[in-house]
């Protein structure tokens, strides 16, 4: 499943190795750890879920199946908050 | 009147008149004393005055008493903050001192945590005052700048008795109520109203048993910086959420932040100022001296 950022609902910025998300409608701030930030950045860059997993596996010492699970979970959480939505 | 020191600033037109009971447009937020939307702000202090601020350039004051000191106190604090927000400028609750001719270090803290006293103790060590209470922060080309609010240091009597650079004879009562022993000292001669570069911000906290200084991550910085926006509670009702976000993220990318802690209820301010000077200011001055190619100990004040 591939995602896009809901730019009318969220702004996000890299701060050091982490990131911060701002919910425009909710006025809520959410800090992102390094992994979550890279996942959201991948979505912004138009990468598919599989491409994000591949990138993270290259950067971190993590098994592909574990990485896949983490990415799916992260994207679901971000989708629940309305920050990303599926392309289909 | 214009904002002194910034000739490009639009004037603010202040008149004495009748303040209507309602805003011209739909309010986004209402409470017992204030009503506001993106471009209008109505504020009423019973038995003092009513105020109406619009479009970042107009203020109407309707006095309800003859005590103009008190009427102006709310004008300078609240009406000016509303004007700034309407102009998409954000004031922060900070004090600060100059660490170089044109560069400042800021201190942020909740009330009564020692913002003014820490800055004062550094003044005793030779660092000129920048602001005591508030400054507008902005970022241009990746550098953070601050513009001071007004040249007055406000201190509790207990602090006045512990310092050596301000004279009792120059103190001015801030409140009509003599029980509130907080006083103002003007520093017009040292005041610089133009924008100056910010070299860092220190968040002060009273906790633990010893003086400690630690560098904060940008995420920690943004969380603390947010709580020190002056009149932050108005931002949402003024529809300034995106402005706040863009300001905060730009500032934390531009300046280093530190947390400096000292024990509560123990007289450690002099040692606290000495530690801040040794661990932060001297480092900033050393870095600046490498940029300038001159002595690390640049004279200030």
For B219, the closest of A20, A22, A24 (CB atoms) is A20
Q: Do the chains contact at A15 and B249, CB–CB below 8 Å?
A: yes
Q: Do the chains contact at B253 and A20, CB–CB below 8 Å?
A: no
Considering only alpha carbons, which residue of chain A is nearest residue B241? A27
Query: pLDDT digit of tens for each residue in chain B (301 aa)?
Result: 334 455 567 899 999 999 999 999 999 999 889 999 999 999 999 999 999 999 999 999 999 999 998 899 899 989 999 999 999 999 999 999 999 999 999 999 987 788 889 999 999 999 999 999 899 999 999 999 999 998 888 888 988 988 888 999 899 888 777 788 888 899 998 898 899 999 999 999 999 989 999 999 999 999 999 999 999 999 999 999 999 999 999 999 999 999 999 998 777 888 999 999 999 999 999 988 887 655 444 444 3
pLDDT of residue B159: 87
pLDDT of residue B292: 66
Q: Do the chains contact at B219 and A18, CB–CB below 8 Å?
A: yes
Considering only alpha carbons, which residue of chain A is nearest residue B221? A15
Domains of chain B, earliest start first: 13-86 (no CATH), 90-292 (3.90.228)
Q: Which residues of B touch A21 (CB under 8 A)?
A: none
* Beta-carbon pairs below 8 A across chains A and B: 33
Q: How far is B177 from chain A (nearest CA, A)?
A: 39
pLDDT of residue B294: 52
pLDDT of residue B51: 98
What mean pLDDT do residues A24-45 have?
Answer: 91
Q: Do the chains contact at B242 and A24, CB–CB below 8 Å?
A: yes
Tokens of A13: 């910025």
Residue B71's SS3 state is helix
Q: Do the chains contact at B236 and A27, CB–CB below 8 Å?
A: yes
pLDDT of residue B298: 43
Contact A3, A86 (CB under 8 A): yes
Please check whether residue B112 touches A, CB under 8 A. no
CA gap B285, A63 in Å, rounded: 47
Burial class from Cβ neighbours inside 10 Å (0-12, 13-18, 19+) for residue B28 reads middle
Q: How far is B202 from chain A (nearest CA, A)?
A: 18
Q: Do the chains contact at A29 and B226, CB–CB below 8 Å?
A: yes
Please check whether residue B297 touches A, CB under 8 A. no
For A13, the closest of B223, B236, B249 (CB atoms) is B249
Q: Count CA atoms within 13 Å of residue B50 on its CB side.
A: 12
Q: What is each CA distance from A62 to A17, A38, A52, A68, in whole angstroms?
A: 18, 15, 13, 10
pLDDT of residue B69: 86
pLDDT of residue A2: 84
Residue B156, beta-bridge partner list = B182
Domains of chain A, earliest start first: 7-82 (1.10.10)
Confidence class for position A42, pLDDT limits 50, 70, 90: very high
Residue B146, beta-bridge partner list = B137, B196
Q: Do the chains contact at B217 and A11, CB–CB below 8 Å?
A: no
How does DSSP assign B133-187, residue by residue?
SEEEEEEETTEEEEEE--SEEEEEHHHHTT-SSS-GGG-EESSS-TTS-EEEEE-
Q: How far is B125 from chain A (nearest CA, A)?
A: 34
Q: Any idea of the CA torsion for B128, B144, B236, B32, to the nearest 10 degrees?
A: 10
Tokens of B206: 């009273």
Show Cβ contacts of residue A43 under 8 Å, excluding neighbours closer than 6 positions: A3, A4, A5, A52, A75, A84
């Amino acid at each position: 499943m591939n995602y896009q950022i809901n730019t009318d609902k969220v702004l996000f910025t890299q701060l050091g190795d982490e990131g911060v998300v701002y919910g425009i409608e909710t006025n809520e701030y959410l800090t992102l750890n390094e992994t979550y930030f890279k996942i959201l950045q991948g979505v912004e860059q138009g990468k598919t879920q599989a491409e994000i997993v591949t990138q993270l596996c290259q950067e971190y010492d993590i098994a592909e199946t574990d990485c896949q699970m983490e990415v799916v979970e992260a994207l679901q959480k971000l989708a629940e908050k309305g920050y990303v939505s599926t392309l289909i | 009147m214009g904002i002194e020191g910034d000739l490009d600033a639009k004037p603010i037109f202040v008149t004495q008149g009748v303040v209507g009971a309602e805003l011209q447009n739909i309010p986004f937020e209402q409470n017992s004393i204030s009503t506001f939307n993106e471009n209008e702000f109505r504020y009423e202090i019973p038995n003092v005055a009513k105020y109406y601020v619009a479009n970042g350039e107009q203020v109407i004051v309707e006095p309800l008493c003859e005590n103009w000191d008190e009427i102006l106190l709310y004008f300078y604090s609240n009406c000016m903050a509303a004007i700034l927000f309407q102009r998409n400028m954000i004031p922060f609750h900070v004090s600060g001192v100059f660490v170089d001719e044109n560069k400042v270090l800021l201190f942020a803290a909740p009330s009564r945590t020692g913002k003014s006293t820490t800055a004062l103790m550094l003044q005793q060590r030779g660092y000129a005052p920048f602001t005591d209470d508030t400054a507008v922060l902005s970022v241009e080309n990746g550098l953070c700048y601050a513009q001071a609010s007004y040249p007055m240091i406000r201190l509790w009597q207990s602090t006045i008795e512990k310092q050596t650079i301000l004279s009792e004879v120059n103190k001015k009562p801030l409140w009509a109520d003599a029980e509130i022993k907080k006083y103002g000292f003007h520093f017009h001669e040292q005041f610089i109203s133009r924008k100056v570069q910010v070299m860092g911000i220190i968040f002060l906290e009273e906790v633990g048993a010893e003086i400690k200084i630690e560098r904060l991550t940008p995420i920690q910085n943004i969380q603390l910086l947010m709580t020190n926006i002056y009149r932050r509670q108005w931002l949402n009702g003024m529809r300034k959420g995106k402005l706040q976000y863009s300001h905060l993220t730009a500032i934390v990318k531009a300046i280093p932040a530190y947390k400096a802690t000292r024990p509560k209820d123990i007289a450690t301010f002099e040692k606290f100022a000495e530690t801040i000077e040794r661990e932060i200011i001297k480092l900033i001055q050393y870095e600046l001296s490498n940029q300038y190619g001159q002595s690390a100990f640049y004279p200030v004040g």
